[in-house]
Structure 1
Amino acid sequence: MGKVITGGTMSLDGYIAGPNESGFDLLFQWYGNGDVEIPTASPDVSPLRLSAASAKLLKEEWGNTGALVVGRHLYDMTSAWGGRHPMDVTTVVLTHRPPQDRPVADENFVFVTEGIEAAVAKAQEIAGEKTVVVNGGQMARQCLEAGLLDEIGIELVPVVLGGGTPLFADLGATPAQFDGPITLVEGTGVTHIRYRVKK
């Protein structure tokens, strides 16, 4: 079974989204500021254009990913990425109410209603020996509280948003400690940092 990781692109003041879900244009500038093109599997997401250092890291991490876990909010906000996640892997969606217009499971999306442990277990079943990536925000918080996370990754960008949504909002299991950084990569307009969760 592969490891379970989470992370997010974060401002210098610790937010993965600004007030009222703003600031994404600033947080994700690094997705388009380089010369190396990385295609996406989503018909709604343009190819990324990254710096060489960022592209090398993302290609490796995407290649090791076997499944994703996201919440229903992100699934709806992105309109299901046009039918396929950009990373081209099956996405497990944790939700109280599966959509009526889709099957409960197919090669693109699997809907789980039994909680974060069940969602991660289903993603691990799909991923096999590969990594399960859990979306940041609520999913990350629930995984950390449940002791399910092995690593976290931060894409730290040089912007201050002044408020918004932190990566681990309302975390009940504090303090949480991490080892590392186990990886530190300087891209253009972003620093990629990886930590191991202390169990």
Structure 2
Amino acid sequence: MAILQWQFTMSLDGFMAGPGGDMSWVQGLPAADKEVAETRESTGALLVGNRTFRGDDPYAENPEEGEAYGGGWHGTQFVLTHHSPSTPVPGVTFVNDLHAGVAAAKAAAGDKHVGVLGANVARQCLEAGILDEILMFLAPVLLGDGVRVFDHPGGSLVRLERVPTASSSPMYHRLRVVR
């Protein structure tokens, strides 16, 4: 069965996007190329938040931005939203229910992972007790402002444990949600 895995890059000060959704800061960072390639290959479907899908990044039209894993991933995306577009988007299914979206994404992923993209949808998965893992690439930058990785005032403690990997990259961290 597919693992529901929140996948993101984070600045040292805890942001996954800069002000206004800016993702230009990830360009030119030292890359964990082997680990990114492995993530791309092990991901069978995506569960994406509406803001992430619609691209709040002011630089989203830049050819190096706006696509999962730098454009190297191809597969089915499930976008969690209450505002589906009137025109179909190839390879994208719009869902308005978290559990139905997760079930459909897991079915599409088969024995691969479902990559969760977006802080809000990941928080919803954590709150529902259905997120299995977190896969984080830690970037050696300080943004100072932007979209926090996890911002849930009054939320409860979420315990994590490290998943052993063969990676020696200090940027790559795989964590299991302890239930």
Instruction: State the TM-score bracket (shorter-chain normalisation).
Output: 0.7 to 0.9
Give the alignment partner of residue 143 of structure 1, picking from 111, 116, 125: 125
| Equivalent-residue separation in structure 2 for 1:29 and 1:147 (angstroms) | 35
Q: Distance in 2 between matches of 1:28 and 1:151?
A: 25
Name the residue aligned to 1:65.
43
Listed as ranges, the gaps of 5+ residues in structure 2 are: none
SS at match of 2:175: strand
Asked if the contact 1:9–1:28 (Cα under 8 Å) also holds between the matched residues in 2, the reply is no
Aligned twin of 2:94: 111
Name the structure 1 match of 2:8.
8
Q: How does 1:32-47 map to 2 (within 5 A)?
A: none
Provide structure 1 residue ranges, at least 5 long, that are not aligned to the other structure.
34-49
> Superposition RMSD on alpha carbons, in Å?
2.3
Residue number among 59, 66, 73 corresponding to 1:87 in the alignment: 73
Runs of 4+ in 1 over 6 A off after TM superposition: none
Under a length normalisation based on structure 1, what TM-score does the superposition of the two structures give? 0.75
Instruction: Report percent identity of matched pairs.
Output: 36
Q: Is the Cα contact below 8 Å between 2:18 and 2:25 reproduced in 1?
A: no
Cα-to-partner distance string for 1:68-89 (whole Å, 9 max, x where unaligned) = 00022222215885xxx64101
Aligned pairs for 1:45-56 within 5 A? 50=31, 54-56=32-34
Q: 1 CA distance for matches of 2:166 and 2:9? A: 14
Aligned residue number for residue 98 of structure 1: 84
| Aligned length, in residue pairs | 168
Question: Distance in 2 between the 1:72 and 1:97 partners?
Answer: 8
Indicate yes or no: 2:22 matched with 1:26.
Answer: no
TM (norm. structure 2) is 0.82
Tell me by how many angstroms 1:61 deviates. Answer: 2.0
